[in-house]
Structure 1
Amino acid sequence: MAKAPSPSLDNTFKDLAIAIELVYDNIGLALAALKADAESAEYAACTFTLGGKPVLYRSSKITPKKIGQFVTLWKRNSKGITEPFSSSDPFDFIIISARSGSNFGQFIFPKSVLLEKGIVSSATREGKRGIRVYPPWDKPTSRQAEKTQQWQVFYFLEIKEDGTTDLERASELITLLIV
């Protein structure tokens, strides 16, 4: 059974605190320089470094009418207008926590994959301000959602709060992405 979240992480970041305790601490990855993004607090938005790599973090939300979970992925430009994250922004990964009942896990997406999928902006293509993620426990009914889930699940790590998370898989996935 999981212990209470670290006192340094308030309830807004409960899922992140659980992932730190059950995964990152156990595979020797230190989380540092946590900075909350008040404007996207509804999605537990923050930045930090993990194993020395800059990360953007969000928690996804279940929506009432569609399968999958939604998450915003935007910033404000110098004019105060929202825009998608860009390939030039200082992050290597976007980690998105997903939860439904007792199911819990994280998508750990490298910037390069998000750029390839058109989620992060490039010099020639605008990215997206939000996306839908499909954890393995969701069963999408549309072809497009099924295709999206097929590529997303490679980057998904199931986190079991009973302490039985596959730390070897976690280490392999994160090492593959961080190296």
Structure 2
Amino acid sequence: MESLDYLLKILAEISQLSLEKLQVEEQNKEYEGVIFSVGKQTFRSRKAKQTPKKAGYFVVFWEKDDQNKNQPYDAITAPDKLVITVFDQEKKGQFIFPKEILIEKGILSHGKITGKMALRVYPDWIDELNPTAAATQRWQVPFFIDLTAKRDVEKLNELYFA
């Protein structure tokens, strides 16, 4: 899995802790879905896909309920962070969203909020977005790190472990 290999390299650069409890999410295999922990933090990881007709990158995250129907992830059982890795030719980056922002934005289900089973992400290198996409990009950018040229180890540590 390309995104997992990349994630392992990054974690080795920023932490002495090792990745543990790795679990492949079979239902999200197409997006290289995995769950793991590092120290006391738990993570869910995905590889985003570029779509031909819309700006940004698409990623799914859902699970099966008791009736085998797809449903959004629940805030109570969700890991602490969602890592979305973006590869676009020579460009690379990651979104590292804390659970709290995913709850705030209605992505994880909680209470009367249904949640979402997919998300479009917009790295800071994408411009000329429509107003809705631009608004989404604005709330996402604080959780994004461009890893194309060099790694800002301090920011990576903050995003992964703060």
The bucket for the TM-score relative to the shorter chain is over 0.9
- How many equivalent pairs are there? 161
- Where do residues 155-170 of structure 1 align in structure 2 (5 Å cutoff)? 155-160=143-148, 164-170=150-156
- Where do residues 1-179 of structure 1 align in structure 2 (5 Å cutoff)? 13-21=1-9, 23-28=10-15, 29-160=17-148, 164-176=150-162
Rounded to whole Å, the distance in 2 between the matches of 1:139 and 1:16 is 28
TM-score, length-scaled by structure 1: 0.84
* One-letter amino acid of the structure 2 residue matched with residue 167 of structure 1: V
* One-letter amino acid of the structure 1 residue matched with residue 95 of structure 2: F
Rounded to whole Å, the distance in 2 between the matches of 1:107 and 1:63 is 18
Rounded to whole Å, the distance in 2 between the matches of 1:147 and 1:93 is 22
Rounded to whole Å, the distance in 2 between the matches of 1:95 and 1:140 is 25
Q: CA deviation at 1:14?
A: 1.6
Give the 3-state SS of the residue equivalent to 1:170 in structure 2: helix
* One-letter amino acid of the structure 2 residue matched with residue 76 of structure 1: K
* Structure 1 unaligned residues grouped into runs of 5+: 1-12
TM-score, length-scaled by structure 2: 0.92
What RMSD over aligned residues (CA atoms) do the two structures have, in Å?
1.4
Rounded to whole Å, the distance in 2 between the matches of 1:59 and 1:76 is 20
Determine if contact 1:16/1:97 at 8 Å carries over to the other structure: no
* Structure 2 unaligned residues grouped into runs of 5+: none
Moved over 6 A (4+): none
